[in-house]
A and B are shown apart, each in its own frame.
Chain A
């Protein structure tokens, strides 16, 4: 169960004399969902491209389990409209047979679109198509670069939920990049906060207490995640009214951070809804 799929050891990447990724070590095990968060320009995309082998590491080593099949869901599918392409055909190009393609499309909920042109899909449909394509390869490791981009808020939660289900079904490892802190906290096993180097990492409920996390994202974000415990001596209702002394629930909050993040409005007066 705990076999290591990918192991990075002190990986650094320098592009145009700029250090983008600084001595990152991490290991991805089967069954893990690891989420990389971090500010813009933190090297998140570069780091996963290094894992994918698209970007060469300047130093350090990356070892992948031999025979590991990687399913990659890129940030967006920007297709040239000059190339006529149906969903079905795009799937078939993965080398997967017709039945496998149909199953994968059905699993991500876009089977009804198989005859449609890829150019006519919405943002959410494109992401689901890309996920289906990764799925069709029966991956041991799923790599997702901001899978919820261009997807509305309900769709985002559903998408992360789907990723979690797929992890269970395929028994694969998952590593993804995300900006949707609330949703990430709910859907992930381990969070890596990247800012060139790994500034902190751990379980979602621990990481938001980490001074390095707060320094990177600011207190506002930490507070909006409803897990920065120093400020939680009271709670807000949906209208921002204080609804009681939080000292009793402070401990519960820390433990229940996962649930809390899902039920976002309960404790997030500064939340951006």
Chain B
């Protein structure tokens, strides 16, 4: 039964997409709470470089992407110590340079046949069983980490200094969060592509903000809106033969507009 479902590429795409939405919800909330939208974008843009790297050092693509994201996060920390440039300038430089270097590097590898549009905007058809393993393995890792570190993560998001005084290991939690971002980027790339990952993170979370009264409610609702976006987007893509990633983002944005219109004012 399950096997026959997994033989169908549409179901594979849907199951994979729901797995991504499951982790994009909570992580998206942290992106919104900590104002990391630009940061997430920068990490995502480096994914192409990660793909190139994975061919050079002969590791699975996902591993290459995770390593590159972590490397870039580290570079950001090092660069931002020297405070002559504003963070958004720095992020802009690194985001686009990483994307450009990735594209240039890939062009040097004629033997590597890559569907560039699929990488940039997501590829519904390319979802394999192996990808599903990656998505659910990644999702399980992230959800476990979040459950374990929840209180500390929340506290250091609310007030970093207060958290420090209360003995929360703020720095280590920040690293854990970056690691989780790297994982979610590596697995979400398949669904929405590197250029649109941030949208899948922040739009459902921003939509949930209108309705939520507690941080946990916001996370649950962000997951729900993520599910709706993925399901609706894939259906749209299937029916109208539109690109998968943009369709998912368009659906998410429609939800956002709808809730903003009828949801009234922010509650808490």
Contact = CB atoms under 8 A, between A and B. Distances in A.
Interface string B151-194: 10011011101101110000000000000000000000000000
A85 B165 contact: no
A117 B32 contact: no
Interface stretch (B207-215, B230-238, B246-254): B207-215
B212 A84 contact: yes
A94 B152 CA distance: 10
B33 interface: yes
Interface string A63-94: 00000001010100101111111100110011
Nearest to A90: B158
Contacts of B164: 52-54
Interface in B102-158: 151, 154-155, 157-158
B222 to A, nearest CB: 12
Interface string B87-105: 0000000000000000000
A49 B162 CA distance: 11
A52 B217 CA distance: 33
A85 B161 CA distance: 18
Interface residues of A, number: 26
Given A85-B214, A85-B215, A89-B214, A80 B162 contact: no
A56 interface: no
B40 to A, nearest CB: 15
> Taking chain A's interface residues, is the majority helix, strand, or loop, or is none over half, making it mixed?
loop
Q: Name, among B34, B212, B267, B268, the residue most crowded by chain A CB atoms within 10 Å (CB to CB).
A: B268
Contacts of A80: 33-35, 157
Contacts of B229: none
B4 interface: no
> Taking chain B's interface residues, is the majority helix, strand, or loop, or is none over half, making it mixed?
helix
A150 B166 CA distance: 25
B162 A86 contact: no
Contacts of A89: 214-215
Contacts of B154: 93
B158 A84 contact: no
A72 B209 contact: no
Contacts of A84: 209, 212-215, 217-218, 267-268
Q: Name, among B155, B161, B217, the residue most crowded by chain A CB atoms within 10 Å (CB to CB).
A: B161
A137 interface: yes
A94 B213 contact: no
B165 A70 contact: yes
Given A77-B159, A90-B158, A117-B268, A83 B165 contact: no
Interface string B192-214: 00000000000000100100111
Given A72-B166, A143-B165, 13 more contacts: A52-B165, A53-B164, A70-B165, A74-B159, A80-B34, A80-B35, A82-B32, A82-B209, A83-B158, A85-B158, A86-B268, A89-B215, A94-B166
11 contacts: A54-B165, A72-B161, A74-B162, A79-B158, A80-B34, A80-B157, A83-B33, A84-B209, A86-B268, A93-B155, A119-B268
Interface of B: 32-35, 151, 154-155, 157-159, 161-162, 164-166, 206, 209, 212-215, 217-218, 266-268
